[in-house]
A and B are shown apart, each in its own frame.
Chain A
Amino acid sequence: MSRWNVDSETRRAGRVRRMAALSAVLLAILVLRLFYLQVIATGGYLSLSRDNRFRERRILAPRGLILDRRGRILAENQAACEATLAVRVPERNPEILPILAGILGTDSAAIAGHCARGAEEGLPRVILHRDLSKEQILVLEERLPALPGLRLEDWARRSYPQGPLAAHLLGYVGEVDEDELAPAGLGPRRYRLGDDIGRAGVEKVYEPLLRGHDGKELFLVNARGAALETVELLPPSAGNRLYLTLDLTLTACLDSALAFWGAGAGVVMDARTGELLAAASRPAFDPNDLIGGIDPDLWRSLREDPARPLFNRVTQATYSPGSTFKPLVALAALEEGVVAENTLLRPCTGGLRLGRRFFRCWDPAGHGRLAVVQAIAQSCDVYFYQAGEQLGIDRMARVARRFGLGAVCGLDLAAEARGLVPDSQWYDRRFGRGRWTSGNVWNVAIGQGELLVSCLQMARVYTALGNGGFLPVPRLRHHVEDEHGEVLIPFSPSRGERARADAAALRLVRAGLEEVLHGEDGTARGSQLASLRTAGKTGTVQNPHGPEHAWFCGYAPADEPEIAVALIVEHGEHGSDIAPIFRELVNVWFGLGETPLRRGPRPPEDAPEATP
């Protein structure tokens, strides 16, 4: 035997140790790794094993209802059914596409294209149809076993049972898109792609109150993703119920009147608290059409319609106030001592000359010499040219601002227009110092020219005139209840800030406003009520785009008003023509039961003068 075959005991013992050491090293590596996995990092793997086994499903919470002040529903949720399809269907089961297309009224190529786009975005499923009809649901359910990859899912569709009524105030909801999720701070916690979110109006302003808290269901799945059993169920909680200050009946009355006239806006305000009892803007749209994916053609036609149906004429449109501004001029003139109760200014002969220009009164026959009450009642332009001239632009601007013009009212609705109250500084900026004349001042004195107000602002002005100078913050929210009916935010009426107004002067102005309806020569005497004394003022505004706009603002009852009203009808021609709307609103609100007046244009009485 050679030396290689007869190894010594010690040499072999050394080799055994070497082999044992190799085994020990390799096994120690395994032990260390197992120690790491099972002792140190076990928590992470435990939660991974949970993720493996459990899937979470979100249960959408219904959005809160919106109701009128008496609990009548303005916005609710309706069960709807959508059809979703797995994006792989066109490649795996192309044979079902024509069947689906037939039922849904599209074509196979459109469905396949939709799936392809969804797959590109990494979505597992795409929505084929958001709102299936009852017939479609029946047919699809029956054929469901033969339509792999199709799923019918219930969802709550926002619905506005009153249709276009108060649509501009209620707004509508839309689906959250990717751009909104991150920067708007909505966060992935509460919103996910495709969730409803308030897009306009109250739906938008009160989004946090209306949105419910989604629930979730945790269920066990196997490796194939098949659901086995529910492990945990967290029920959703519905959004809160929002009661608005609006009264549905009164709003419907206002809305139908405006709809008759075509375009315009109206506000009925509680003259003590500023609550909006009714508000309407016409032309309007049906928010139901905008839910669940807006039809692009419809959306374009709404946006491009020259009548601008999406435009909220209550808060966003501004107009010259016309003669409805005169009570403020009268008030300022009385307060400043420019005129007194019985001061007679130069007589009205159908107009007044300023240098080489002739400023006409609406009544070419002339009003003669009038004191302030009759000047308001008959809306004599000549009287107010003189009052305005003596007051000057700045004192007129001051009284306008005191009553909230030129500033937002603070209504709980987004995007209010401020309007414009011009003063001498503004004119200097606009035309240059000394480049503007008394003509501009005269125009403002009769509510024309550069002065711009919104319907909501005018309702607030007449609220303050009626209630002795309190300028409440207008509001739409009455109170909020949670889903169980517990009051979450109580109703808290407030009279608001008191606008500084001299009591004696205000009394005279209010007498003039009462004369408008109840005086022999009042411009709206045709719209008086037999059983309740009311007060108001007509206004007619010249307008370069066509016939004059008509205003009517007022309040009732005349001595201690409960409601104040502002109405603007585009191209309504004469303020007195729309005064019957005021009469009818008061009639309805106080339940007087008087016969409504015949609708329609009335003989002219209050035409504007014309200035360049």
Chain B
Amino acid sequence: MKGRLRHGGFTARFFLPWALILGFGLLMLYSVTSPPGDFGLDDDGSAYTISRVFFQRQLMWVLIGLAAVFVGAVIPFWIYKDYFAWFLYGAGLLLLVALLVLPPMRGDTHRWLVLGPMGVQPSELFKVVLIIMLASVLAARRGDPNGMRQVLVTGLIVLPPTLLVLRQPDLGTAITLLWLIFPMMIWRGLSLRRLLIMTAPVISGFIVLYGTITSGGEAPGPGHILWAVFMIALFFVSLLYPTMSVLERVGFYLASVGVGLAVPRIWSGMLPYQQKRILVFFDPGLDPLGAGYQIFQSKVAIGSGGIFGRGFLEGTQKGLAFLPARHTDFIFSVVGEEFGFIGAMAVLGLYTWLIIEGFKLAGKARHPFGQLLSVGISSLLLFHVFVNVGMTIGLMPVTGLPLPGMSFGGSVLVATSFLIGLQMNISRNWGRY
């Protein structure tokens, strides 16, 4: 099966959608940084407009991103395997630790590494590192993908960076890192039932938390009934899954029960402001001046776009500055307002194209390392798109995850571009490796 260079050098399957996404992103950023035009200026100046400088900087980042695509595509991807993966992982961890030790470089969080005029978010770059690391380790392991060892090894790899990123604090990125485990382990052969049993304690905790919040912590509400149903289902799944040892099954089951019983006590032990933070995370409407305001304004912008949108540069909600963070996390709201449902479908279509191509590539690649890399990259994109777009339309909490390729910001753009380049690389060499 020699299919080398079958698609020529740069594969249009990945480059074309990614280039279109980058181009569309620049267009939206141009719109967002346009002066408010007909609407006049604020009486105390134009401070609420977003400077054209952001567009110019993004243009520069796109050029660097294209270079990153090239780098990703031409350096044979298998050199990242094994030793180099460990090296990248170690260096990345050190960088994350250093970031926490050093004083905050931008704002009051430890997210940024500032080098002269450039600001980099190492956690964004670490997503790349983690994908390579997980792909390398999982590809090299010969054992049972459903065994405890496999789970433990993967967990030990993901947990340290996750905790470090959580400390920055950057909850969105931390959850993204955790998320990468599941698609990559499933690809490696992890059974879904096994996954269910192992994640049962977490799911149990969330259901009980939901029940506690909605019922006010007293009488059994719909959440508690849901929990009971879940625990019964889990019992049968555990019973009917003989490949797992009895000890493990009983252990996970008891852990689920324990978490379910503990959560209400932890909740009632929390201080009101801590409770509120959790409540707002689940329902931003509870904080109408903060996260709730952002979600509301974003929904207004997108909803008012209708089917065809207001037209390029015509968005009133972005123009009059009702949309918050409209050049970064809420760039999709501007797409929805100016290009309507049609435009939103087009953008989602481009991402879908890119993601599905990635999964198809995983199916074709010969070596597990290439397969896992491509699965990881597509899963990462899927997660970002779902969480970011879901946030702008009120389905997801405000986590601060950017829309790769469109949101303003260099780190994500360069990191994702490099990953797309890697997929092109794998695609170019799928028969060979």
Contacts and interface: CB of A to CB of B under 8 A. Distances in A.
Nearest to B379: A19
A173 B227 CA distance: 65
A229 B42 CA distance: 11
Contacts of B92: none
A36 to B, nearest CB: 9
Given A34-B336, A224-B48, A52 B386 contact: no
Contact of B299 (A18, A27, A37): A37
Given A4-B145, A27-B386, A222-B321, A49 B300 contact: yes
A37 B379 CA distance: 26
B356 A23 contact: yes
Contacts of B322: 49, 52-53, 222-223
B239 to A, nearest CB: 24
Nearest to A26: B386
Contacts of A228: 39-41
A28 to B, nearest CB: 10
A48 B362 contact: no
A220 interface: yes
Interface stretch (A39-47, A119-127, A204-212, A381-389): A39-47
Given A13-B363, A41-B303, A224 B341 contact: no
Contact of B144 (A1, A4, A222): A4
A46 B308 CA distance: 13
Contacts, number: 154
A226 interface: yes
Nearest to B395: A33
Contact of A45 (B139, B304, B321, B382): B304
A29 interface: yes
Contacts of A23: 352, 355-356, 359, 378, 382
B302 A38 contact: yes
A48 B389 contact: no
A7 B306 CA distance: 47
A358 interface: no
B352 A45 contact: no
B257 interface: no
A414 interface: no
A19 B341 CA distance: 26
Main SS class of interface, B: helix
B15 interface: no
B362 A16 contact: yes
B320 A221 contact: yes
A346 interface: no
Contacts of B238: none
A2 interface: yes
Interface residues of B, number: 61
A192 interface: no
A31 interface: yes
A13 B359 CA distance: 10
Contacts of B340: 38
Among A18, A26, A49, chain B packs the most CB atoms within 10 A around the CB of A49
B386 A224 contact: no
B142 A5 contact: yes
B306 A38 contact: yes
B363 A12 contact: yes
A18 B297 CA distance: 36
B405 interface: no
Contacts of B218: none
B395 A30 contact: yes
A4 B142 contact: yes
Contacts of B345: 31, 34
A30 B363 contact: no
B337 to A, nearest CB: 8
A12 B360 CA distance: 9
Interface in B305-321: 305-307, 316-317, 320-321
A6 B345 CA distance: 38
Interface stretch (B65-73, B183-191, B194-202, B243-251): B183-191
A20 B299 contact: no
B217 interface: no
Given A12-B363, A12-B371, A46 B142 contact: no
A35 interface: yes
Among B317, B348, B363, chain A packs the most CB atoms within 10 A around the CB of B363
A52 B360 CA distance: 45
A45 B299 contact: yes
Nearest to B303: A45
A226 B43 contact: yes
B76 interface: no
A573 B299 CA distance: 82
A15 interface: yes
Nearest to A6: B368
B393 A37 contact: yes
Among A52, A220, A221, chain B packs the most CB atoms within 10 A around the CB of A52
B304 A49 contact: yes
Nearest to B317: A49
Given A19-B362, A222-B321, A30 B386 contact: yes
B128 interface: no
Interface in B258-308: 297, 299-307
A222 B395 contact: no
A222 B306 contact: no
Interface string A549-588: 0000000000000000000000000000000000000000
B375 interface: yes
Given A15-B186, A23-B382, A228-B39, A223 B299 contact: no
A19 B378 contact: yes
B352 to A, nearest CB: 6
B344 interface: yes
B216 interface: no
B359 A20 contact: yes
Contacts of A27: 348, 351-352, 385-386
Contacts of B301: 49
A441 B54 CA distance: 102
Closest 3 interchain pairs by CB? Answer: A45-B303, A16-B363, A49-B304
Given A15-B186, A34-B302, A222-B320, 15 more contacts: A4-B143, A5-B368, A23-B359, A29-B386, A30-B348, A31-B345, A34-B336, A38-B307, A49-B304, A49-B317, A52-B300, A53-B320, A53-B322, A223-B321, A229-B40
26 contacts: A4-B143, A15-B187, A15-B363, A16-B359, A18-B186, A19-B359, A19-B362, A23-B382, A26-B386, A27-B351, A27-B352, A27-B385, A30-B385, A34-B336, A34-B345, A38-B344, A46-B303, A46-B304, A48-B300, A49-B303, A53-B316, A53-B322, A220-B40, A222-B42, A222-B320, A224-B321
